[in-house]
């Protein structure tokens, strides 16, 4: 085709492309920064054996850093349509999570939610070092992403409002929806106001809190009765609790959320990012370091 030649698109396709340009995408996960921060924390708590396995599985484009690929699952949503429901789970307007009731997609297929996905990709990664038909590089990237997702409170929200996606609010002066506030806005505001617009500075602060202020909590965060798989079910129960008691609380359609909301909710966001990083490291250490991982407390490497 000559360089100057134009391709005429059929009308419906032209309309669809224009629609994609003017309609904001539905908020579906921690923003890119949130996922990167979760994985930067996790990287520091990987055992030597787990770190080596992660390095072996990472694509060359990752540059040897797990955090580089942690937003990946959001970038392939148009390609992997089936994966969309794996980023979240909704409850029927109740402040509790039950796997048998809630973990399914819109067609009722069981296990098609963020909790089922974490357990599934964990199970796939246990075949590392064996002959397998799984793409373990993708399994790792999905797992790292979904562990972050399940810790975002509104990824375990109410079905009627799609985890806060249909609740229109103003974040200070900017129009948003409640889900986007928790995915992106709270983190962006913190980075701008507290960390001189530096995500890396925020990450370093979270790491310092893990070795200082939260040091007594890490053992509790590590607790997991399911020694082979994960405790994703417990993490979802935590998230619906935070959704009800913090994310949804005192929020109604059209409300303006400002300093009062930010200063009382930001500590929850900070804590969930740190917990997600610690627990991702715990899962990966168990997968790649076997039973020894349960006998050795998580330590910064």
**Beta bridge partner(s), residue 252:** none
Residue 22 lies in a domain: no
pLDDT tens string 263-287:
999 999 999 999 999 999 999 999 9
> Is residue 214, in this structure, part of any structural domain at all?
yes
What residues contact 116, with CB distance under 8 A and at least 6 apart?
A: 86, 99, 103, 110
Q: What share of the chain in percent tops pLDDT 90? A: 77
Number of domains making up the chain:
1
CA distances from 83 to 5, 72, 146, 201, 287 (A): 37, 12, 11, 32, 23
Tokens of 269: 């966001």
Half-sphere exposure of residue 240, counting CA atoms within 13 Å on the CB side? 23
Is position 16 within any domain? no
Dist. CA 293–CA 283, nearest whole Å: 9
Which pair of structure tokens corresponds to residue 83? Answer: 């994966």
Q: Is residue 2 part of a domain?
A: no
Residue 181's pLDDT is 98
pLDDT tens figures, 239-272:
999 999 999 999 999 999 999 999 999 999 999 9
In a domain, residue 20? The reply is no
User: Is residue 191 very low, low, confident or very high in pLDDT (cuts 50, 70, 90)?
Assistant: very high
Residue 297, in any domain of the structure: no
Mean predicted lDDT score pLDDT of the chain = 88
Q: 223: closest CA among 168, 269, 178, 282?
A: 282
Domain encompassing residue 110: 28-288
Give me the mean pLDDT over the 209-229 stretch: 76
User: Could you tell me if residue 255 is inside a domain?
Assistant: yes
pLDDT of residue 219: 81
**CA 127 remoteness from chain centre:** 24
Task: Note the pLDDT of residue 292.
Answer: 53
pLDDT bin (cut points 50, 70, 90) of residue 25 is very low
Task: Kindly state whether residue 243 falls inside one of the protein's structural domains.
Answer: yes
Here the CATH number for the domain that contains residue 282 is 1.10.575.10
């Amino acid at each position: 085709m000559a360089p100057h030649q134009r391709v005429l698109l059929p009308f419906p396709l032209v309309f669809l492309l224009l629609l994609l340009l003017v309609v904001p995408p539905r908020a579906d996960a921690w923003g890119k920064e949130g996922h990167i921060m979760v994985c930067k924390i996790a990287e520091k708590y990987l055992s030597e054996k787990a770190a080596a396995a992660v390095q072996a599985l990472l694509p060359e484009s990752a540059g040897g850093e797990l955090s580089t690929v942690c937003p990946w699952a959001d970038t392939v949503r148009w390609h992997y349509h089936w994966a969309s429901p794996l980023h979240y789970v909704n409850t029927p307007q109740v402040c509790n999570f039950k796997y048998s009731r809630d973990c399914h997609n819109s067609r009722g297929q069981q296990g098609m939610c963020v909790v089922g996905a974490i357990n599934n990709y964990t199970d796939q990664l246990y075949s590392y070092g064996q002959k397998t038909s799984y793409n373990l590089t993708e399994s790792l990237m999905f797992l790292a992403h979904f562990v972050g997702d399940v810790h975002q409170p509104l990824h375990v929200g109410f079905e009627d409002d799609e985890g806060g996606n249909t609740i229109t609010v103003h974040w200070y002066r900017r129009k948003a929806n409640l889900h986007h506030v928790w995915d992106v806005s709270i983190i962006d505001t913190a980075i701008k106001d507290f960390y001189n617009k530096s995500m890396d500075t925020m990450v370093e602060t979270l790491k310092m809190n893990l070795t200082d202020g939260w040091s007594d909590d890490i053992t509790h965060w590590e607790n997991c009765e399911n020694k082979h798989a994960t405790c994703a079910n417990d993490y979802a129960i935590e998230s619906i609790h935070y959704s009800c008691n913090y994310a949804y609380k005192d929020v109604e359609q059209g409300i303006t959320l400002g300093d009062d909301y930010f200063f009382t909710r930001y500590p929850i966001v900070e804590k969930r990012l740190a917990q997600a990083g610690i627990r991702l490291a715990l899962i990966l250490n168990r997968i790649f370091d076997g039973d020894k991982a349960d006998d050795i407390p998580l330590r910064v490497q």
